[in-house]
Chains A and B, each alone.
Chain A
Amino acid sequence: MSAEGHDHGHDHEHEHHHKETFITKYIFSIDHKMIAKQYLITGIIMGIIGVGMSMLFRMQLAWPEESFKIFNILLGDKFAPNGVMANDIYLALVTIHGTIMVFFVLTAGLSGTFSNLLIPLQIGARDMASGFMNMISYWLFFLSSVIMVCSLFVEAGPASAGWTIYPPLSALPQAIPGSGMGMTLWLVSVAIFIGSSLMGSLSCVVTVINLRTKGMSMTRLPLTIWAFFVTAIIGIVSFPVLLSAALLLIMDRSFGTSFFLSDIYIAGEVLHYQGGSPVLFEHLFWFLGHPEVYIVLLPALGITSEIIATNSRKPIFGYRAMIMSILAIAFLSTIVWGHHMFISGMNPFLGSVFTFTTLLIAIPSAVKAFNYITTLWKGNLQLNPAMLFSIGLVSTFITGGLTGIILGDSTLDINVHDTYFVVAHFHLVMGISALYGMFAGIYHWFPKMFGRMLNKNLGYVHFWVTAICAYGVFFPMHFIGLAGLPRRYYTNTNFPLFDDLQNVNVLITTFALIGGAFQLVFLYNFFSSIFYGKKAVQNPWKSNTLEWTAPVEHIHGNWPGEIPHVHRWPYDYSNPLHEEDFVPQNVPMKEGEEVLHH
């Protein structure tokens, strides 16, 4: 596996035919398409674990301290004696659910899969700029996933200080058992994850800048590529800050420094820490934590931009405005982190500044939402499962985004901060939306990845049940948040004040369980279609982008002959000058056809 053999910077005829063994083809592959599949399948497995956990703690919330055999089977005698979930494992489940879903599923699973798959194919490159670094990036991700999963089996239990791991709780094993070995593994896993993410992002940025095919100017890039490109930049800017926070926390935990700790009396003794501040950690954490929302969301929005245009058979409305809004969101996302900390004890003046910057984000977001809706207008909508998930994304993005106006306003945040209102908000706007984006991407590019089609009827069932359950879970949740119910409570039974919320909790859990169960439909469809799905044609969705000019069978180097040249923007759908309702990017301009500067 010499690195030179994959130097795709030059447009060599790709004549190298390596003897590929099972190991180089399926395991230590440096082919971006295989790496994408590896990311996807690892992401799906982590997703099963993460969603499964949420089912368990939702059951505890609906039927507090009731005995379920399944708890005992899954959590064991220590954490679920007689089938009753213990309170420390409840917190661990919540923590690991958040960590897995945010980092492992919606960052690596989503971005890792689709930026690896689509960047070379859509910009017309043989592979990513550095196949080897790409491979390392996947294997670091795999390693960090394994470590995270291993941390579930530590004797004192996995990390349980919330996915935000605020010290001192996360720093002191005396404060919560999960802050011992479990937390150490969490930090190691996330540190490795950051390494993986940085390598992936670097390779993504370099590829987009350097390896575009002839004619593929920046304003002819599909919006997917814009989204992946900008996401990678946000990642490079903000992930290192989380890494430094994690390293400083490791120092505090293991080497007695006082970056985040001060004046602590716990378990009957005064600890030596002096002069640190947990608020500093909050700043560092959210300096990544907030951009992370967009690291998760932008690729999903990029994917849906592409799918909505293709399946509306219309140009995406306001291509330039879409790019500008991606850039604006990216910039603003790095200066709003403080809205997670309005009541952290920081100076209220800072709160004012962050309220201002936060509410500004609503403007580019509104532009995006309206542009999607206008793209649908007078289209010829092909309502396949990918399109349904994309429309679903726009719906949840609006519903969830609007409540952000409340949370971003420091005055209103005082009373809803850390209640279920927040849980409802961010699950809709980033959790469900990004998941929809991921599903949409899978349904749309499955033929590209596996050469076969997913079953559309199973896809329809999957979408409709998921869509109803997503609203069924998170819409009522706003109300219990507005009733003042704090999140991360193992049970509310100690507060008779909240007794009237119990019926709502049962309803939420019922929807969650149905929605969770129906993901099995997707899993069945996904895994059976890899082997038994109908064979795909080269361009099943009649799409314009370059990946559909590559043959169905995967070959190293993507195109058998020369890389196609690009002559037009990617959204020439239903162009009145052409017979067909789509004009692939590699079709030369007709005589008299104007170059559209979109």
Chain B
Amino acid sequence: MTSLLVIIVLVLLAVALWQLTKIFDLTQEGSHSDSSQVATDNDNNVQGYLMFGFLAFIYIFTIYGLFKWGNLVLHTPAAEHGATVDNLMNITWILIFTVQAITQVLLHYFAFKYRGKKDQKALYFADNNKLEAVWSVIPAVVLAGLILYGLYAWTNIMFVDEEEDTIVIELYAQQFKWSARYSGEDNVLGKANVRFIEGVNTLGVDIADPYSQDDIVVSELHIPKGKKVHFKMRSQDVLHSAYMPHFRAQMNCVPGMVTEFAFTPIYTTAEYRELPFMVEKVANINALRAKKSIQLVAVGETALDPYTFDYLLLCNKICGASHYNMQMKVIVDTPEDYAKWLKEQTLLVQDVKNANTAEPVEGATAKDSTSTKDTASVAKIAMK
């Protein structure tokens, strides 16, 4: 309701201002000459000062924004390569703010300083090759530096050395849920294609492939701290994008091909929760949630749960109606906890076998598995 009120106020405000200008016009009614809509010295004066005021507005708004919203921005990267990314980002920001500060001052200050006056004549100044060379060469040199640093970082991040000792994990996207497949002891994922999708085998893994015998499918991603994880992404229906903002990681999942991204986590979930900035952020969020809960309870709805931080994998490519709710929890464990957790998971081949023995009649005619069986098995996987 308050929002509606806000809108009404805004509309009224608009009407009021509009009326004001109408009145302003009427006061000028005396001058009916044709050039009355051309800027006069008085207009130039007023608008010149407003330009100066606008410069102040941009500056104050920027500084206000940096203080007020600066802490909302993603903080300490949770992956090894994140430091390089953030470093490059910071350098770029310094450059941007410098250029922005200088050019906006010049632009608006000139607009104020040289506002038109009747007896003033502009300087006939049409060209200066030296000046133009200066502002072509300076950006060129600065950009060359940025490009070199950027390309160096990009190459290091994106090209995964196949020889390197990594953990291979498949991220699997479908409307509107994520799954992960661990390659098991052989560290090689079994072959897969959507044409193998059947019953509990929702990822379409080729069960006959020797490499898939030790594969494990889960719906919550666990990764160990300090070990490079090599993600291979697949999608079964539309484009999705695996976005893990805290790890500075993102890659699209494309039906019909396998995409990849690799990074090394450097904070366990527990450690990241303890970082001072995160403690503060979570406290702030919980304060906001508590406030909202009071409102909710007042209208008879249930209060919001308090929030604890978890790494997330979000979908960041429009993928359908529930795109806004396609997420998976990511948990970074210590290597020991990770090994323990992994041991507790059942192998995919075992799941398939169990599903088949549970319903032997349908197992025999698995080709046309009924939809009821599908949902039951999907639910079973989702429960893990």
Does A479 contact B65, Cβ atoms closer than 8 Å? Answer: yes
Assembled-state Cα–Cα distance A418/B61 (Å) = 25
- Contact residues in A for B245 (Cβ distance below 8 Å): 415, 484
- Contact residues in A for B241 (Cβ distance below 8 Å): 343, 417-418
Does A499 contact B285, Cβ atoms closer than 8 Å? Answer: yes
The stretch among B154-162, B178-186, B349-357 that forms the contact with chain A is B154-162
Assembled-state Cα–Cα distance A586/B358 (Å) = 93
Does A66 contact B252, Cβ atoms closer than 8 Å? Answer: no
- Out of A403, A456, A533, name the residue touching B43 (CB < 8 Å): A456
Does B248 contact A415, Cβ atoms closer than 8 Å? Answer: yes
Question: What is the minimal beta-carbon distance from B92 to any residue of chain A, in angstroms?
Answer: 6
- Out of A175, A517, A520, A598, name the residue touching B320 (CB < 8 Å): A175
Does B249 contact A492, Cβ atoms closer than 8 Å? Answer: no
Question: What is the minimal beta-carbon distance from A159 to any residue of chain B, in angstroms?
Answer: 12
Assembled-state Cα–Cα distance A596/B126 (Å) = 10
Does A266 contact B147, Cβ atoms closer than 8 Å? Answer: no
Residue of B nearest to A88 (CB): B321
- Out of A278, A520, A573, name the residue touching B122 (CB < 8 Å): A573
Q: Quick check: is A255 within 8 A (CB to CB) of the other chain?
A: no
Q: A348-B158, A381-B48, A482-B73 are in contact. Are A391 and B107 (CB under 8 A)?
A: yes
Does B121 contact A574, Cβ atoms closer than 8 Å? Answer: yes
Residue of A nearest to B119 (CB): A380
- Out of A66, A352, A471, A491, name the residue touching B324 (CB < 8 Å): A491
- Contact residues in B for A44 (Cβ distance below 8 Å): none
Q: A345-B257, A366-B136 are in contact. Are A524 and B18 (CB under 8 A)?
A: yes
Does B62 contact A475, Cβ atoms closer than 8 Å? Answer: yes
- Contact residues in B for A318 (Cβ distance below 8 Å): 126-128, 132
Q: Quick check: is B21 within 8 A (CB to CB) of the other chain?
A: yes
Does B239 contact A166, Cβ atoms closer than 8 Å? Answer: yes
Does B117 contact A380, Cβ atoms closer than 8 Å? Answer: yes
Does A382 contact B116, Cβ atoms closer than 8 Å? Answer: yes
Assembled-state Cα–Cα distance A395/B159 (Å) = 39
Residue of B nearest to A164 (CB): B318
- Contact residues in A for B208 (Cβ distance below 8 Å): none
- Contact residues in B for A279 (Cβ distance below 8 Å): 254, 257
Q: Quick check: is A589 within 8 A (CB to CB) of the other chain?
A: no
Does A278 contact B239, Cβ atoms closer than 8 Å? Answer: yes
Q: Quick check: is B299 within 8 A (CB to CB) of the other chain?
A: no
Q: Quick check: is A378 within 8 A (CB to CB) of the other chain?
A: yes
Does A380 contact B114, Cβ atoms closer than 8 Å? Answer: yes
Q: Mark A296-332, 1 if CB is under 8 A from B, else 0.
A: 0000000000000000111111111100000000000
Residue of A nearest to B287 (CB): A500
Q: Mark A422-461, 1 if CB is under 8 A from B, else 0.
A: 0000000000000000000000000000000111111011
**Contact-residue size bin, chain A (C-beta under 8 Å from the other chain):** 35 or more
- Out of A175, A379, A419, A541, name the residue touching B237 (CB < 8 Å): A175
Q: Quick check: is A377 within 8 A (CB to CB) of the other chain?
A: yes
Assembled-state Cα–Cα distance A278/B44 (Å) = 54
Assembled-state Cα–Cα distance A277/B256 (Å) = 7
Q: Quick check: is A489 within 8 A (CB to CB) of the other chain?
A: yes
- Out of A266, A379, A411, A475, name the residue touching B88 (CB < 8 Å): A411
- Contact residues in A for B314 (Cβ distance below 8 Å): 484, 486, 495
- Contact residues in A for B312 (Cβ distance below 8 Å): 495, 497
- Contact residues in B for A88 (Cβ distance below 8 Å): 321
Q: Quick check: is A161 within 8 A (CB to CB) of the other chain?
A: yes
Assembled-state Cα–Cα distance A476/B136 (Å) = 31
Does A384 contact B110, Cβ atoms closer than 8 Å? Answer: no
Does B10 contact A517, Cβ atoms closer than 8 Å? Answer: yes
Assembled-state Cα–Cα distance A415/B368 (Å) = 43
Q: A455-B25, A486-B314, A534-B36 are in contact. Are A415 and B85 (CB under 8 A)?
A: yes
Assembled-state Cα–Cα distance A376/B103 (Å) = 12
Assembled-state Cα–Cα distance A204/B131 (Å) = 34
Question: What is the minimal beta-carbon distance from A586 to any residue of chain B, in angstroms?
Answer: 20
Residue of A nearest to B135 (CB): A370
- Out of A68, A359, A371, A541, name the residue touching B143 (CB < 8 Å): A359
Does B309 contact A581, Cβ atoms closer than 8 Å? Answer: no
- Out of B108, B122, B126, B252, name the residue touching A343 (CB < 8 Å): B252
8 A Cβ contacts from B70-94 to A: 70, 72-74, 84-85, 88-89, 92
Does A483 contact B193, Cβ atoms closer than 8 Å? Answer: no
Does A412 contact B88, Cβ atoms closer than 8 Å? Answer: yes
Does A499 contact B288, Cβ atoms closer than 8 Å? Answer: yes
Q: Count A-B pairs with CB separation below 8 Å.
A: 424
- Contact residues in B for A596 (Cβ distance below 8 Å): 126
Assembled-state Cα–Cα distance A409/B246 (Å) = 19
Does A277 contact B257, Cβ atoms closer than 8 Å? Answer: yes
- Out of A367, A382, A415, A499, name the residue touching B39 (CB < 8 Å): A382
The stretch among A116-124, A186-194, A219-227, A257-265 that forms the contact with chain B is A257-265
Q: Quick check: is A383 within 8 A (CB to CB) of the other chain?
A: yes
- Contact residues in B for A367 (Cβ distance below 8 Å): 132, 135-136
The stretch among B49-57, B221-229, B268-276, B334-342 that forms the contact with chain A is B49-57
Q: Mark B139-168, 1 if CB is under 8 A from A, else 0.
A: 110010011001101110111000000000
- Contact residues in B for A314 (Cβ distance below 8 Å): 122-125
Does A521 contact B194, Cβ atoms closer than 8 Å? Answer: no
Q: Quick check: is B284 within 8 A (CB to CB) of the other chain?
A: yes
- Contact residues in A for B89 (Cβ distance below 8 Å): 406, 412
Question: What is the minimal beta-carbon distance from A516 to any residue of chain B, in angstroms?
Answer: 9
- Contact residues in B for A244 (Cβ distance below 8 Å): none
- Contact residues in A for B204 (Cβ distance below 8 Å): 265
Residue of B nearest to A540 (CB): B38
Assembled-state Cα–Cα distance A315/B123 (Å) = 9
Q: Quick check: is A355 within 8 A (CB to CB) of the other chain?
A: yes
Assembled-state Cα–Cα distance A3/B39 (Å) = 43
8 A Cβ contacts from A501-535 to B: 501-502, 504, 510, 513-514, 517-518, 520-521, 524, 533-535
8 A Cβ contacts from B308-355 to A: 309, 312, 314-325, 327
8 A Cβ contacts from A332-380 to B: 343-345, 348, 351-352, 355-356, 359-360, 362-363, 366-367, 369-374, 376-380
- Out of A162, A370, A475, A483, name the residue touching B65 (CB < 8 Å): A475
Q: Quick check: is B238 within 8 A (CB to CB) of the other chain?
A: yes
Q: Quick check: is B279 within 8 A (CB to CB) of the other chain?
A: no
Q: Quick check: is B187 within 8 A (CB to CB) of the other chain?
A: no
Q: Quick check: is A592 within 8 A (CB to CB) of the other chain?
A: no
- Out of A373, A388, A414, name the residue touching B103 (CB < 8 Å): A373
Q: Quick check: is A566 within 8 A (CB to CB) of the other chain?
A: no
Does B72 contact A377, Cβ atoms closer than 8 Å? Answer: no
Question: What is the minimal beta-carbon distance from A403 to any residue of chain B, in angstroms?
Answer: 7
Most chain B CB within 10 A, of A453, A571, A598, is at A453
Does A377 contact B110, Cβ atoms closer than 8 Å? Answer: yes
Assembled-state Cα–Cα distance A467/B48 (Å) = 15
Question: What is the minimal beta-carbon distance from B23 to any residue of chain A, in angstroms?
Answer: 10
Does B237 contact A264, Cβ atoms closer than 8 Å? Answer: yes
Assembled-state Cα–Cα distance A172/B235 (Å) = 15
Q: Quick check: is B364 within 8 A (CB to CB) of the other chain?
A: no
Question: What is the minimal beta-carbon distance from B235 to any residue of chain A, in angstroms?
Answer: 9
Q: Quick check: is A48 within 8 A (CB to CB) of the other chain?
A: no
Residue of B nearest to A461 (CB): B21
Question: What is the minimal beta-carbon distance from A241 to any residue of chain B, in angstroms?
Answer: 20
Most chain B CB within 10 A, of A87, A387, A412, A495, is at A412
Q: Quick check: is A537 within 8 A (CB to CB) of the other chain?
A: yes
Question: What is the minimal beta-carbon distance from A119 to any residue of chain B, in angstroms?
Answer: 24
Of all A-B residue pairs in the complex, the 10 with the closest CB atoms, nearest first, are A262-B256, A484-B245, A348-B158, A383-B47, A453-B37, A345-B259, A265-B194, A489-B324, A496-B307, A479-B69
Contact sample, A vs B, 28 pairs, CB 8 Å cutoff: A91-B323, A175-B319, A261-B256, A264-B255, A279-B257, A317-B125, A360-B143, A376-B107, A376-B110, A377-B110, A378-B125, A379-B122, A381-B115, A405-B92, A409-B92, A412-B150, A418-B241, A453-B34, A455-B37, A476-B65, A484-B245, A488-B323, A492-B324, A495-B327, A496-B289, A500-B285, A513-B6, A521-B14
Query: 9 extra interchain contacts, Cβ-Cβ under 8 A, other than A363-B136, A369-B103?
Result: A172-B238, A313-B122, A343-B250, A343-B251, A394-B107, A405-B146, A414-B248, A482-B74, A510-B6
